[in-house]
Amino acid sequence: MTFNNKYENYNYYIKKLEISDFNLLYNVGKNPLIWEQHPEHDRWKEEKFKIYFDKGIKNIFGIYGVFDKKKDKIIGSSRFYEHNKNSSYIKVGYTFLIPEYWGTSANYQLKLLMLNEAFKIVDNVRFDIGKKNFRSRRAIEKLGATLLFDNQEVNVVYELKKNVFIN
């Protein structure tokens, strides 16, 4: 299973990043405010961000940069990961956006781009979210995702079923 290198709508596009894009993404990801509700709250540090980025590059589905089309600038990142054929799910996550886009439709539009592709091949999409990351939890709940697991200390898992997803 593979995904395209680029998806877009009227306002945003996501494109698969390459190793040479580290500085491009780090320049927006080095803001400590982005990570304050995240379990790894010091991911803004370059050495920690490098681990995050390298894992994304090595991920079988890659790591996507999120871009504002009108401003032609990168505003964050997300990825597909952990595909389970037997249970017909894939995870979408490791998402962050710069604070300027919080409270806008950017995250919703990003997720729509990714969900529309994921639901072509799976029946469920799961999201690992930091237990205390209430901003992300609310955003996923607005899409119709429901809490699947809350038995971990650090993360919770939400699931969105294809038959519930309304685009």
* Each residue's pLDDT tens digit, 90-108: 999 999 999 999 989 999 9
Is residue 91 one of the residues assigned to a domain? yes
**Number of domains observed in the structure of the chain:** 1
Tell me the mean pLDDT in the region 142-150: 92
Dist CA 167 CA 96 (whole Å): 22
Rounded to an integer, the average pLDDT of 118-142 is: 91
1 located within any domain: no
**Structural domain boundaries enclosing 77:** 6-161
Residue 167 lies in a domain: no
Give the CATH number for residue 35: 3.40.630.30
The answer to the question of residue 140 being in a domain is yes
Average pLDDT of span 151-166: 86
Per-residue pLDDT band for 38 (boundaries 50, 70, 90) equals confident
**What is the length of the chain?**
167
- Residue 41 in any domain: the answer is yes
pLDDT (average), residues 139-158: 88
**What number is the average pLDDT over the span 47-59?**
97
166 lies in some domain: no
The mean per-residue pLDDT over the stretch 33-42 comes to: 90
* 8 A C-beta contact, residue 116 and residue 34: no
| Interatomic CA distance for residues 106 and 88, integer angstroms | 27
| Distance (Å, whole) CA 105 – CA 127 | 18
Contact 74, 24 (CB under 8 A): yes
pLDDT for 133: 85
Statement: residue 152 has pLDDT above 80 = no
Q: For 106-118, write each residue's pLDDT tens digit.
A: 999 999 999 999 9
